[in-house]
Chains A and B, each alone.
Chain A
C-alpha cells in the first residue's frame, strides 16, 4: 500500500513557469514532510521540509504548502529554470519512527528554455 501518493508522474513547463507537485497521505501520525531533488545518476538531495504546525515554508524559489485537514502538501518552484529539471520525491515520516521514510513515487520535471 502506497503511504504517500504523488502526482503528476511527469511535468513539462516553460522557463519562468511555476510547476506544482502534489502529495497526499493518510497516516495522521506523519509529522515531518521533506522534499528531495534527484538528478540522473546522483543521490537525492534534501530541498526543503515542513512540519504540520505551519501551513507554508519558503526557501529561495522553493515553497511547500501544507494542508493538514486535507492531508496534502505540495511543492511550488517559482521562476523555474532549466537547471531545475530533475526528479522530485516527497516523503513523510513520524517522529517515533523517524528512521523510516515513506517516499512518493516521484515526479519527473522538465523545464524548457
Chain B
C-alpha cells in the first residue's frame, strides 16, 4: 500500500460544531503531518508527529487539536472553527526526513 488516505473528502460544519478529520497510511512511515492549503497558495505546515509524538506545532490556534493514536493514524479534531478556516486540509507522511507523500485532502467549509 503506497498511499495516504483521508476521510471525509468533503466536510461542511457550523462554527459551533465539533468534527474530526482522519488520515491513515500503511507505508510504515514514522512521521505524519497536517497541512492547511488555501486556494492558489502552497501548503502551510500545521503539525508534525514523529514516532507518534508531536514534534512541531506551527502556532496553530487551539481550535485545531491533533492526535496520533498509533503510527498509522492521524486525526485532527476541530471545534469552534471560523469561516476563515475553510480550506483544503492535507495529511502527509514520510519515512525518512525528506520524502513526504500527501493524501488527497479534506475540503472543509465552515459556515
Contact = CB atoms under 8 A, between A and B. Distances in A.
Interface of A: 32, 34, 36, 41-46, 49, 87, 89, 93, 95, 97-101, 103-106, 108
Contact of B56 (A36, A95, A99): A99
Contacts of A97: 97
Chain B interface extent, by class? 20 to 34
B105 A101 contact: no
24 contacts: A34-B98, A36-B102, A43-B92, A43-B102, A43-B103, A43-B104, A44-B90, A44-B102, A45-B102, A46-B100, A49-B99, A87-B40, A89-B43, A93-B97, A97-B97, A98-B94, A98-B96, A99-B33, A99-B55, A99-B56, A99-B94, A100-B45, A101-B100, A106-B40
A99 B31 contact: yes
A97 B4 CA distance: 22
Interface of B: 4, 6, 31, 33, 40-43, 45, 48, 50, 55-56, 88, 90, 92, 94, 96-105, 107
Given A99-B50, A99-B55, A43 B42 contact: no
Given A43-B105, A46-B99, A100 B56 contact: yes
Contacts of B103: 43
B104 to A, nearest CB: 5
A77 B108 CA distance: 33
